[in-house]
Chain A
Amino acid sequence: MRVGVFICHCGSNIAGTVDVAKVAEEARKMPGVAYATAYMYTCSEPGQKEITDAIERDKLDRVVVAACSPRMHENTFRRTVMKAGLNRYFFEQANIREHVSWIGLDKELNTKKAIDEVRMAVEKVKRNKPLFSTSFKVNKRVLVLGGGVAGMQAAIDCADGGLEVIMVEKSPSIGGMMARLDKTFPTVDCSICILGPKMVDVAQHDLIKLHAYSEIAEIKGYVGNYQIKIRKKPTYVDWTKCTGCGLCMEKCPTKNAYDHFNFGAAPTRAINIPFPQAIPKKATIDPEFCRQFVKGKCGVCAKVCPTGAINYEMQEEIITEDVGAIITATGYGLMGIENFKEYGAGRYPDVITGIQYERFLNASGPTSGHIIRPSDHEEPKTIVFISCVGSRDKSLGVPYCSNFCCMYIAKQAILTKDHIPDSQSYVFYMDIRSPGKGYDEFTRRAQEEYGAKYIRGRVSRIYPKGKKMVVRGADTLLGTQVEIEADLVVLGNAVVSAEGAAQMAEKLHISYDTHGFYVESHPKLRPVETNTSGVYLAGACQGPKDIPASVGQGSAAAAKVLALFSKDMLESDPAIANVNINTCVGCLKCVKTCPFQAIVEDTLRNGKKVAKVIETVCAGCGVCTSTCPCGAIQLQHFTDNQLLAEVNAICQK
């Protein structure tokens, strides 16, 4: 066996705190190593040529590169060794950057650790076996989760590229958060006017199949071959008959149902169509408030419906769709006002959230576009906006910036002046964050042209005084306390992950961070991929982001799916479990533990019962290998021998 070891300087990233020459020198002494060298940038073209040349010159049959994380460059180097005629699995990467040079300051200790890491990789690579991929067919349909602007963009782009798209939206209409907005920054474009055509595109595209008011019940399978179970929630209205005339909504006697679309800005009816441009424009009954469900009698909507669409007995329905890839665009949520005790925590009706205010501004909102105080329905004249409510506040578990509040508050201040010319807006801010194209100009306009008074400082308390709300805070630029008697207070409350985001991630087998936002494959270079191949991200499910960024990601995710589906066959990862039928005793413990039902019982010609791995289903976790009492089932590339060789390399040196 002839192993070649290549130590990367990575400029000064590694060489700065690791004596790379020493590591190479020590590597040369390791048994089986035929060649070892240190190179400035091993991943560069000449660096890779150094590897291929050495393979040829020194007749190397195994390669170890000690450099950055294999999560970064494993594929690069696997391709390199393949080019030189070796099996791609005859390569191991020792991580001496993220796990060594970047976390320790002591050069001597780092060098020692790097040598150990190289020794482990050498011992492992010596035991590597050649593995070969098999190819399998791809189901060229894509599932889009979420019908907000990011999901719609992804769906339209995929469908325009000729793919069949299944869109699942949990609420009764697509449109997401953007459909709730009155105007968009920094152009003050009418939000629904630019979103509406996209919604119609989704509804009318031949290749897009929409399941509204539906949720994901189960996801099975792997890239190229997913089986999705979709739970269609009962709407209690037969949507094939409903014409969206709205008569039921007009006549419904329950007038105090919570309006999910308007974020509770005003109550709605128990049967309702969320907004005039809704797609599909169909009615849904909210059984939490509907008298027929709560009291067991009413039936008004059934009586008035001209098409007889009401069905109080409707049950949920599970349907199955097969797809090859999934785009996750499940959006975000907003932190509840009850968290802000110092601002009244929802006890004062005239302290509302930004999205509620947006609905008041909107002509199709609960007040038909008139700004009112919820307490007495009077027009407010003094309006205070508070930014960073919950955001950048560790005590509420949200250390991050919510990204777009600065901008929408500036927009709302501008719109307020348009709606009520004799009004005065105040904005309490920590920093004005407006780094987008045309954004800073926009916040300046709010101040200079529309006279919004920006006060740099935090608000400590809001309390009622007669009909007014007193907002007390600090002006840190003047170094004084300020108290403003406001008619209405609007909180720019923090963006949080969508409700149920963690559970959704668990179904998708993708990672999420401590805040419930989904984790991309690489923060810079793979922003819409996840670590689960075949699952992509778009929009605010990955982190707070505004409309342009969400649309951009929607298109990016669609491009990734189109690229994936440009091949008819995909290559499988050959690092899967393999049964040695000579040592297998047929206890079938592995069959029970396999999370993917990838192992089945098989009978050999001599009648012996053994376990058998279904290659296309095995995902390569190795749970079976550590279950097997006789070591007969081995996860290839991570066999007991290979891992113990690494252990021995550390412990028995």
Chain B
Amino acid sequence: MSEVASKELRIVGFLCNWCSYGGADTAGVGRFKQPTDLRIIRVPCSGRVDPMFVVRALITGADGVLVSGCHPRDCHYTDGNFYARRRLEMLKRLLPFLGIDGKRFHYTWVSASEGQRWQQVVTDFTKQVHTLGPMHQK
């Protein structure tokens, strides 16, 4: 057991309250099993996610960061997720210049009804981060 626990990596998730956070709830209610590495931070909108949060997380100890918002055009605040998409795409391209593998960061769209999709997103991203291994040598 403890051996498994030590293998767990640190993944930080920023989830939009209106869609992805609800999608993660829906996945929970549906008992869609997921890896346990992810820790979720609730934000009002993916547009609230400052790219600095992502960088800060990766530099200070996270092995991966996931941002999930509402599908484009389906934003609770009209177009917050469009801002998010621009900023986060820029960030994804910038990360390698900071010496961080771009695969450690992922942004996606999951709606409140897409519990199964959420399970898939978490499983795939966790797997991806695990293939990269821990970012910080302890």
Q: Quick check: do A and B touch in the complex, using CB within 8 A?
A: yes
Shortest beta-carbon distance from A145 to chain B in Å: 18
Answer yes or no: A217 CB below 8 A from chain B CBs: no
Shortest beta-carbon distance from B20 to chain A in Å: 11
Chain B residue nearest in CB terms to A622: B48
- B residues 30-83 touching A (CB-CB < 8 Å): 31-36, 39-45, 47-51, 53, 56-57, 60-62, 70, 73-80, 83
Residue interface bits A68-112, CB-to-B below 8 A is 1, else 0: 011110000000000000000000000101111011111011101
Could you tell me if B87 and A514 are in contact, using CB atoms closer than 8 angstroms?
no
Which A residues are CB-close (under 8 A) to B41? Answer: 120, 643, 646-647
Which B residues are CB-close (under 8 A) to A509? Answer: 75-78
Answer yes or no: B112 CB below 8 A from chain A CBs: yes
Answer yes or no: A133 CB below 8 A from chain B CBs: no
Shortest beta-carbon distance from B123 to chain A in Å: 11
Q: Contacts A596-B78, A650-B39, A650-B61: A640 and B33 contacting too (C-beta < 8 A)? A: no
Which A residues are CB-close (under 8 A) to B29? Answer: 98, 102
Select which of A117, A120, A512 is within 8 A of B74 by beta carbon: A512
Q: How many residues of A contact B (CB 8 A)?
A: 57
Could you tell me if B2 and A626 are in contact, using CB atoms closer than 8 angstroms?
no
Select which of B2, B5, B18, B24 is within 8 A of A511 by beta carbon: B18
Shortest beta-carbon distance from A197 to chain B in Å: 37
Could you tell me if A103 and B27 are in contact, using CB atoms closer than 8 angstroms?
yes
Q: How many A-B residue pairs have CB under 8 A?
A: 172
Which B residues are CB-close (under 8 A) to A623? Answer: 45, 47-48, 77, 80, 83
Chain B residue nearest in CB terms to A510: B76
Shortest beta-carbon distance from B39 to chain A in Å: 5
Could you tell me if A640 and B8 are in contact, using CB atoms closer than 8 angstroms?
no
- A residues 119-136 touching B (CB-CB < 8 Å): 120
Answer yes or no: B10 CB below 8 A from chain A CBs: yes
Residue interface bits A591-624, CB-to-B below 8 A is 1, else 0: 0010110000000000000000000000111110
Answer yes or no: A651 CB below 8 A from chain B CBs: yes
Chain A residue nearest in CB terms to B117: A514
Q: Contacts A70-B42, A71-B22, A104-B36: A626 and B87 contacting too (C-beta < 8 A)? A: yes
Could you tell me if A102 and B47 are in contact, using CB atoms closer than 8 angstroms?
no
Shortest beta-carbon distance from A640 to chain B in Å: 7
27 CB contacts below 8 A, A to B, read A69-B25, A95-B40, A98-B27, A98-B29, A99-B28, A102-B31, A103-B32, A104-B35, A106-B36, A109-B36, A112-B8, A113-B39, A509-B78, A511-B70, A511-B112, A595-B80, A596-B77, A623-B77, A626-B49, A643-B41, A643-B43, A644-B53, A647-B57, A647-B62, A651-B10, A652-B61, A653-B61
B-contacting residues of A (Cβ < 8 Å)?
A: 69-72, 95, 97-100, 102-106, 108-110, 112-113, 116-117, 120, 502, 505-506, 509, 511-514, 519, 531-532, 575, 593, 595-596, 619-623, 625-627, 635, 638, 640, 643-644, 646-648, 650-653
